[in-house]
Structure 1
Amino acid sequence: MPRQIFQLRISLAGVRPLVWRRALVPGGFTLDRVHRVVQHAMGWRDCHLHSFEIDGQQYGEPDPDGELSLRDELDVRLDAVVGKGSRFHYTYDFGDWWEHDLVVEDVFLADPEERYPDCPDGERACPPEDVGGPAGYQTLLAAWTDPAHAEHRTLRDWAGDRFDPAVFDASRVGTLLRRFC
């Protein structure tokens, strides 16, 4: 049977301008692999805990202390819990609390000439890790382009020379996805 590909639109909630990605993911991927797709597509470094919420059920890495009620993401395939038109959520970094809205835009048969997963489209750079969530990122953006801002130099130095909030390279992300997911 040909593989089904899920076209996901991943949007980072709570930030303006919008940071988003379109990812093409095999439906047979387990949620732990979808987690890796979101990490690489968005530009996160997988330094923090995460979870999915799908139809009121939480999925992630099981908590050995049993404090979090999560179903094991290793045991659940994407195509078993969502379909075309489904909406679900992914939260990354329970301190900064980055919420991602995911929508299954389409489901189609894999093109035998293509390699998956892929990220054909998106806009803007992902916020830097540990910037302080959406509020911290908005402060960074305000300071970024305003040399008169009290934190302009400090935040530019902290974010580094390679960070540019407007830049997103879909072909680079596609290569990372195929290599690491």
Structure 2
Amino acid sequence: MTDRRRDLLRIRIELTGISPPIWREILVPARYSFWDLHVAIQDAMGWLDCHLHEFRIGGSSRGDVILIGIPDDEEWEDSPEVQPGWEISVIDYLSEAGDRTEYEYDFGDGWVHEVTLLRVEPREKGQRYPKCVAGERGCPPEDCGGIPGYESLLEVLFDPSHPDYESLSHWIPKGWGPELFKPERVRFDNPLKRWQIAFSAADM
């Protein structure tokens, strides 16, 4: 039985559709909600959390799937209601090794991540969590146009003679590179503060 106060969830996040893969392995408290996990994924991957997101659990079609994220006032007939992520515990759905969910960020660019629970394990004394323990390759820049746009971006950046090389070189974030990632440099934000910022801004 998982102890929500003392145990950790070791989770792998992999951005789908890109090869070689862009992935992260993180340790998060077992008490985490899906909102908390969303914030941890954003920080570990390197996204800026400036677009909508959604976890999708189970089901062979959108009508059967459980959606967890930010509820929308507009409901679609053929789509289930989105459940608020801050009210649902991750271990309600990811409790056994191998349990998976799909996480999509930025519905325009459509960045889909496969999120897999590797195992439940005890905390190490003196360590702070969440923690990024492994990963490879840099996260695509925000608003680059999804997988096709990202692939085009790389094609240009690897060809200094390309007519768009100079303009795109100035557009990408400073210090970014497709192969650059160091787990120890990941810094995690406070999920509660992120929630307060997101919803205080939404009310303005």
TM-score by length of 2: 0.82
Query: 2:180 aligned with 1:180, yes or no?
Result: no
Contact kept in structure 1, 2:102 and 2:114, CA below 8 Å: yes
**Cα gap change, 1:108 to 1:101, in 2 (>3 Å):** same
The answer for the alignment partner of 1:98 in structure 2 is 111
C-alpha deviations, 1:28-77, integer Å up to 9, x for none? Answer: 10000100000000000000000001222110011123346201111111
- For residues 91 and 173 of structure 2, the distance between their equivalents in structure 1, rounded to whole angstroms, comes to 39
- 64, 67, 75: which one pairs with 1:58? 67
SS of corresponding position for 1:5 = strand
SS of corresponding position for 1:153 = helix
The answer for the alignment partner of 2:93 in structure 1 is 81
The answer for the alignment partner of 1:113 in structure 2 is 126
**Cα gap change, 1:149 to 1:104, in 2 (>3 Å):** same
- For residues 160 and 108 of structure 1, the distance between their equivalents in structure 2, rounded to whole angstroms, comes to 36
SS of corresponding position for 1:63 = coil
C-alpha deviations, 1:5-43, integer Å up to 9, x for none? Answer: 111110111122211100101121000010000000000
The answer for the alignment partner of 1:128 in structure 2 is 141
TM-score by length of 1: 0.92
**Cα gap change, 1:75 to 1:161, in 2 (>3 Å):** closer
CA RMSD of aligned residues (A): 1.5
- For residues 24 and 107 of structure 1, the distance between their equivalents in structure 2, rounded to whole angstroms, comes to 9
- For residues 60 and 160 of structure 1, the distance between their equivalents in structure 2, rounded to whole angstroms, comes to 27
Residue identity opposite 2:168 in structure 1: L
Deviation of 1:112 after TM superposition, in Å, equals 2.3
Provide the identity percentage: 37
- For residues 134 and 50 of structure 2, the distance between their equivalents in structure 1, rounded to whole angstroms, comes to 24
More moved, 67-76 vs 84-93 = 67-76
SS of corresponding position for 2:36 = helix
Runs (5+) with no aligned partner, structure 2: 59-64, 192-204
Deviation of 1:4 after TM superposition, in Å, equals 1.6
Query: 2:22 aligned with 1:19, yes or no?
Result: yes
- For residues 53 and 91 of structure 2, the distance between their equivalents in structure 1, rounded to whole angstroms, comes to 20
Count matched residues. Answer: 178
Query: 2:147 aligned with 1:137, yes or no?
Result: no
Runs (5+) with no aligned partner, structure 1: none
Contact kept in structure 1, 2:93 and 2:99, CA below 8 Å: no
